[in-house]
Structure 1
């Protein structure tokens, strides 16, 4: 396929009297670097780029490739030190590109890509104004490039991402800043762009960019759209990616865990490619710990401890300690639980919702063992086992409002996924009645899930009522995410 892209490039040289894209040359060497980046072999990518710099120092694809390396360095390490060390590279790379061939479709595209990558990174570290400014610039560049080069397919990758993310953005600093610029998105339009691109790219001369499209499409399906087809589509589109790609292992395991395909996640992570050639990625140890604990395998502690020992990033530190606390609790070690809960309360950062939730949980009383087991088994997709844990229980068996609420919530989620809609709706309503004034996410998410059940049953009035109930609840965990999903539900129903 590299040959086919080179053939297309060489053909353009024969057609046009001048060398049209001379300074944006995605030649075989650059494509090898690009492929290495998306297998997370960043050292190999740096070597290919060094060779390209010697052979063609003016190739304007070089700063774009170098930015990809910075992007994945920060994404895999989640290190604030890496972020602070590398963020200064952005402006010099944009300067390099801005002096180059304005007649190339890569001219505006490359600048947009660099802005988008840094927008995602700045947002990750809570720098929402910077992220908003970069999204604004990227969107403007891509819109202009689409007018100049309407048949350049890679425009749809960035525009699909902008549309999807902005179309489902929760209320907050980033959304309000973008609103002042008049920038809005449309989630369904973004999904359609990605779907079309993923289907068509593999059989085109732009096939080398397929893996990047799948990377972003998977993120949008899973974390933005919360699509019920996320797992099936992810498996379909990642199938043709080489097993030598560590990014493939990440995508498949992450989505498998998020969608209750726990056994598949364990198998994928056990077979992931390893060795010094790959970028260190401690988060995969965290994922492996989650997958093993979801089936109540207490050896999961090995993976969480490894993550905490090797991790230099800012996310999942509190959450990993909370998981270690649960393992202690499941072993009957209450003192161990208290020690890890204190770490979850006091160690680490609060950028990520998972860490915010871990802090909240650590500040409260220890969870009831049966509710904890049901929660973990449900997350792993072991629905019948989760139901067995709660089968002989009733609300009155629990003393605290939190546990009463969680009991009904867990039942609702299990019944929902088993297709027992009427029982799910009853449990969800009990959750809302019991927990609507608590700081926990149970009641708000029960209302959201109730809306989805009614939407599936074509009961529009009840679905809207439930989604509005979810939106009306404030000051609880995961508020932004639940509210954005409820608003997306209302938008679907109004179409």
Structure 2
């Protein structure tokens, strides 16, 4: 409570000391603070009510357009709805106009404009609007760099700059990266991670403590999806601990990272206890995550969560992937006609904006997977390594008929032994995967080379690690090519 009052007082001090009294204030008062906190608990209806009150009391408060943009941003993240995106993106210009007429002597003047640009860049990237996203990242980066020079002691500059550095520092080759490179904008992943860690450690001790949840939101994303860090789980759990249990965003962050890092039972427990009720924003993706978590344990009741996701989802993402998973459930039940039906839906329904759905489309076109390989894959993803090993314990490469299945068998065994800490066995299977699948379109061989590089890096064998990373980079025209290549290049940078 005391920290909150100090935070509000700091903003009011800025307002009264402003030499341009004709301009509106950047006044993060109690209404605005409540709106901001509601946004980061995913209580967007409450946030809108606080913003509406603030508009009536202080219509010229320049924090209002920033808060409104946060609401749109999280509406789009939770809905994944393309129609919402097309409808809401027109709000950006008017909000920037309102802020640009305000107090240039405030550290929030450039910061707020940069935040709005950056939020829209992140959303546009989901729908392939890479050129516009690049322009917005450029504007945000320039504004934050300028703001850091003008206000070097304003810590929030590091939030946006940390995100830009981290994402650009590990961005796969493509339209967005090449466009930004023409403007001389390049990132550094480690610098970005350092900025976030410093903020996460120091904000709770400062008057900027209310921004803590947002910093952790982005930090967890960077650790998990950008850096693919081995400490993503431990740091996410550590830094989200102080976030209130009433935050649905906390449940999302923790469960997402748990699933991505093979802490599957944790994810199931977190999602079972997530806060619910009419005050929270609808978030169908959490049903999808719950389905993934249960299926990773070979709990075929996962179909309940996947079907709920399809019933409530109004977005464009994860439709193909959900139908693929429902197909797998049918296959594991021995229901071949059900499998065929869901695979047809995975092929013909949904969109391919994100990597999961692109991969689902590829897998729907592939031959039916052997159930033992499918079980081992799911159990491995959940972190159930002993069970996964037992499924394949009496198998060998010759037991499989196709090059795809032979390659996948070696890959699955390599991954299991790798995570069990049995490096020599893992390396043997990874090499067999590369030999068998080097010229196939599947990701197994390229990812085996990437993982082999990481094993050698851990062993401090730099020559072999570089060789493996370069092997991964040299393989082309396979699934997840951009992601695998960017991780291999990051490995080479670490070694250099």
TM-score (norm 1): 0.98
In the alignment, which residue of structure 1 is the partner of 2:459? Answer: 457
Structure-2 separation of matches of 1:202 and 1:51: 28
Distance 1:16 1:465 in 2: 59
Aligned to 1:121: 123
Contact 2:170 2:188 in 1 (8 A): yes
Is residue 223 from structure 1 mapped to residue 225 from structure 2 by the alignment? yes
Residue of structure 1 equivalent to 2:468 = 466
How far off is 1:314 after superposition? 1.0
1:205-258 superposed Cα distances (whole Å, 9 cap, x missing partner): 000000000000000000000000000000000000000000000000000000
- 1:444 aligned partner: 446
Deviations, residues 255-291 of structure 1 (Å, cap 9, x unaligned): 0000000000000000000011000000000000000
How many angstroms apart in 1 are the aligned matches of 2:467 and 2:19?
A: 64
Q: Distance in 2 between matches of 1:304 and 1:383?
A: 24
Q: Distance in 2 between matches of 1:256 and 1:339?
A: 31
Q: What count of residue pairs does the alignment treat as equivalent?
A: 494
Aligned to 1:240: 242
Alpha-carbon distance in 1 for matches of 2:429, 2:12: 64
> Which sections of structure 1, spanning at least 5 residues, go unmatched?
none
Deviation at 1:367, TM superposition (A): 0.5
Q: What is the aligned partner in structure 1 of residue 80 from structure 2? A: 78
Q: 1:261·1:381 contact (CA, 8 Å) conserved in 2?
A: yes
* Cα separation, partners in 2 of 1:19 and 1:372, compared to 1, 3 Å: same
SS at match of 1:315: coil
CA distance in structure 1 between the aligned counterparts of 2:367 and 2:185, rounded to whole angstroms: 44
Residue 280 in structure 1 maps to residue 282 in structure 2 = yes
Q: What is the aligned partner in structure 2 of residue 333 from structure 1?
A: 335
The offset of 1:364, in angstroms, is 1.4
Match of 2:154 in 1: 152
* TM-superposed deviation, 1:365: 1.2
Structure 1 contact 13–20 (Cα < 8 Å) conserved: no
Please say if residues 315 and 350 of structure 1, whose CA atoms lie closer than 8 Å, have aligned partners that are also in contact.
Answer: yes
**CA displacement, residues 32-67 of structure 1 (integer Å, 9 cap, x when unaligned):** 000000000000000000000011000000000000
Paired position in structure 1 for 2:11: 9
Question: Which secondary structure does the structure 2 equivalent of 1:365 belong to?
Answer: coil
Q: Quick check: 1:131 aligned with 2:130?
A: no
Aligned pairs (5 A) from 1:57-72: 57-72=59-74
Give me the whole-angstrom Cα distance separating, in 2, the residues matched to 1:122 and 1:315. 14
Give the corresponding residue for 2:414: 412
Deviates more, 1:20-29 or 1:171-180: 20-29
Secondary structure of 1:95's aligned partner: helix
1:341-368 deviations in Å (ceiling 9; x for gaps)? 1111111100111111111111111100
Q: Distance in 2 between matches of 1:124 and 1:273?
A: 27
What does the per-residue CA deviation read over 1:397-433, in whole Å, with 9 as the maximum and x for residues that have no partner?
Answer: 0000000000010011111111000000001000000
Counterpart of 2:369 (choices 361, 367, 370) is 367
Contact 1:322 / 1:344 at 8 angstroms: preserved in 2? yes
**1:397 is the counterpart of 2:385:** no
RMSD: 1.2
Given the superposition, is the C-alpha separation of residues 47 and 13 from structure 1 closer, same or farther in structure 2, using an over 3 Å criterion?
Answer: closer
Contact 2:162 2:192 in 1 (8 A): yes
SS at match of 1:145: helix
State how far apart, in whole Å, the 2-side matches of 1:480 and 1:14 are.
51
Q: Equivalent residue of 2:442, what SS?
A: coil
Q: Secondary structure at the match of 1:202?
A: helix
Please state if 1:433 is matched with 2:435.
Answer: yes
Separation of aligned partners in 1, 2:129 and 2:15: 44
| Cα distance, 1:7 vs structure 2 | 2.8
Contact 1:24 1:106 in 2 (8 A): yes
Q: What is the rounded CA distance, in whole Å, between the counterparts of 1:14 and 1:65 in structure 2? A: 22
Counterpart position of 2:265: 263
Alignment of 1:175-214 (within 5 A): 175-214=177-216
Deviations 1:127-163 (A, max 9, x none): 1001100000000000000000000000000000000
The verdict on how the C-alpha distance between 1:14 and 1:45 changes in structure 2, with shifts beyond 3 A counting, is closer
Runs of 4+ in 1 over 4 A off after TM superposition: 10-22
Segments of structure 2 that go 5 or more residues without pairing to the other structure are: none
Shift of 1:13: 6.3
Give distance in 2, aligned partners of 1:19 and 1:252.
Answer: 44
Written as runs of structure 1 = structure 2, the 5 A alignment for 1:475-490 is 475-490=477-492
Give the TM-score normalised by structure 2: 0.98
Aligned residues of 2:14 and 2:106 also touching (Cα < 8 A): no
